[in-house]
Structure 1
Amino acid sequence: MSQKILTALVLCLAVCCVAFAGCTGSDSKTPAQSGAEEKPTYVVGIDAPYPPFSIMGKDGKPTGFDTETMLWIAEKEGFNVEFKQIAFESLVPALKGKNIDLVHSSMTITPERLEQVNFSIPYWTVNQTVIAREGSALTMDDVLAGKATIGTQRGTTAEIWIDENLVQKGLMDKKNLKHHDNIANAVTDLQNGNIDAVMFDSTVINDVIAGKKLQKIGSVDTGEQFGIAVRKGDNELLATINDGLEKFMNDPYRQELIQKYKME
């Protein structure tokens, strides 16, 4: 065999080994060959602090009932999550604009929101509780008669309830409904005497007033149900979330979280 022919055969064999990745003697496999599948990652919008549902840790990582619920569902359903902090009133626009994939931030299922997004099955129920300063003579009757300046977080169902049931019915001047970026600011306004009361979700109020000279004066039975929001058309993702939620609702871990965050 001539040197030219031998050289050509060697080159041919080298090319074949590269093309078919089978001539090196290596046992390594590509993900496709090994059957491994990459998990999808979904960006979850939250608004923290919103204890006990969403809490921002000192390390900058979110915790809380909602956050731990989503991590549990992700593990069971085979996907990864990234949490993104967004102001509550901007969560639905961010979801519709595809800046996030899910909203899991104690969001009440309402007819108005259902026109824009789809919701999972409900996972929690709350009413609206009113707080005032300790020693205040303000009563729940005063609040319901529109005789108080009330603060709450912008974009929440508390704000909607006050507007629909007090302002629009002519019981309270609209200037007496004070809108705040978050519940902490509303509480500070109350403590400083700038407003008479704050209305907010019943499950959250215990954390809000802890260690402060504030008191509950009553509640409004709204029976609101929280759900996880997804974009309209994301039916497969919605089915995945519902499947995970159903498992969670029937798992002992749910009660562990309720006890951990003192929700009952």
Structure 2
Amino acid sequence: MKKKLALLTIMIFVLGLLVSGCGQAKQTEDNSLKDIKQKGKFVVGLDDSFPPMGFKNDKGEIVGFDIDMAKEAAQRMGVKVEFKPVQWDGIILSLNNKDIDVIWNGLTITDKRKEQIDFSKVYLQNKQIIVVKNDSSIKTKKDLAGKVVGLQLGSSSETALAADTNTSKSLKETKKYSDNTEALMDLSQGRLDAVVVDEVVGRYYISKKPGLYKTLDEDFGKEDYGVGIRKTDKSFKEELDKTLDAMKADGTADKISQKWFGKNIITK
């Protein structure tokens, strides 16, 4: 009888530890939103030379489509938002090291990135376009054979081009830049034959310099944009998703899109 009681006591103790452990895990998981509320802000990591998503204007202020979206979301969540420029090729490490709270800067949702971080719901669909000078004879991907193509290091443009092996292997050289501004500058100066870039960026630059650039009809595929979030921050992700849904539903996201792109490109 004593052995049975002892065994029962041990089982209850072990069960108690398991329940306690699960409870602690759940509590830790749910603390992300509470921590943000207590801190009174969330920190957005971004490449601040990525117009129109996030960039510095003539006054040195960080502005852009994603900036306006993040500000609106923060206000609705009852907190402030801080923008922290980070080197793009190390931005996921910055997120997981808690140097920043989210990546909100035209971040493409990929399987590889999903292994490292979580994402909000899709809020915008983009594609990788090919930009050339207006007087270029390049009309198709096949015409890129033997040419020098530029793109941003660590960007989805790099991934998209590499995935198209027929095109990437035909190139003379692929030059990688720290930002798209530098790549497009080299294109305008004739140091590149083409640039592979996010459509949102390419369209923005083309509109700023009419007659200088044009885009090819072919592209390197579509992609979805989401806000990058740590895998542990479940409660914060849930609240942000609700906020983004509300911004879409009441037309606020549409207005922000019209401001920066001239049309509504928000994903429903």
Would you call these one fold, judging by a TM-score over 0.5? Answer: yes
Q: Which amino acid aligns with 1:248?
A: M
CA positional deviation for 1:131 = 1.1
Equivalent AA in structure 2 for residue 226 of structure 1: Y
> How far is 1:228 from its partner?
0.3
Paired letter, 1:253: T
Q: Does 1:204 align with 2:193?
A: no
Which residue is equivalent to 1:233?
232
Shift of 1:56: 1.3
Give the Cα–Cα distance (whole angstroms) in 2 for the partners of residues 207 and 201 of structure 1.
10
The alpha carbon displacement at 1:52 in A equals 1.7
Amino acid at match of 2:54: S
* SS of residue matched to 1:95: helix
**Inter-partner Cα distance in structure 2 for 1:171 and 1:194:** 20
Paired positions, count: 225
Distance 1:138 1:221, change over 3 A: closer
The sequence identity of aligned pairs, in percent, is: 25
1:122 aligned residue: 122
Instruction: Indicate conservation of the 8 Å contact 2:162/2:168, yes or no.
Output: no
* Cα distance between partner residues in 1 of 2:141 and 2:168: 16
Q: Deviations over 1:44-83 (max 9, x none)?
A: 1011222221121333321111011111111111222111
1:189 and 2:186 correspond: yes
Q: How is 1:59-98 mapped onto 2 (pairs within 5 angstroms)?
A: 59-98=59-98
Asked whether the equivalents of residues 127 and 219 of structure 1 are also in contact (C-alpha less than 8 Å), the reply is no
Q: Displacement of 1:39 after TM fit?
A: 5.8
- C-alpha displacement of 1:147: 3.8
Match of 1:179 among 168, 176, 180: 176
Matching of residue 252 in structure 1 with residue 257 in structure 2: no
Tell me the distance in 1 between the aligned counterparts of 2:185 and 2:126. Answer: 23
Post-superposition CA distance 1:188-247 (Å, at most 9, x none): 111121111001111221222221622112332522010001111111111111111111
Is residue 158–residue 201 contact of structure 1 (8 Å, CA) maintained in 2? yes
For structure 1, the residue ranges without an aligned partner over 5 or more in a row are 1-36
> Partner letter of residue 205 of structure 1?
G
Q: Is the partner of 2:98 in helix, strand or coil?
A: coil
Task: In structure 2, list runs of 5 or more residues that go unmatched.
Answer: 1-36, 264-268
Tell me, what secondary structure is at the counterpart of 1:78? coil
Moved over 4 A (4+): none
Hey, what does 1:27 align to over in structure 2?
A: none
**TM-score, normalised with respect to structure 2:** 0.78
Show the counterpart of 1:102.
102
For each residue in 1:136-170, what CA deviation from the matched residue of structure 2 results, as whole angstroms up to 9, or x when unmatched? 11121425x64422101111111111112137x87
The residue aligned with 1:151 is: 150
Report which of the two structures shows the higher radius of gyration computed on alpha carbons: 1
Structure ranking higher in helix proportion: 2
Contact 2:204 2:261 in 1 (8 A): no
Alpha carbons 1:57, 1:63 under 8 Å: kept: yes
Query: Who is 1:4 aligned against?
Result: none
> What SS class does the counterpart of residue 169 from structure 2 fall into?
coil
Distance 1:85 1:250 in 2: 30
Q: Secondary structure of 1:241's match?
A: helix
- Contact 2:164-2:220 at 8 Å conserved across structures: no
Q: Which residue is equivalent to 1:7?
A: none
- Name 1:216's counterpart in structure 2: 215
1:245 match: secondary structure: helix
The residue type paired with residue 85 of structure 1 is: P
CA distance in 2, matches of 1:196, 1:86: 29
Question: What SS is found at the alignment partner of 1:139?
Answer: coil
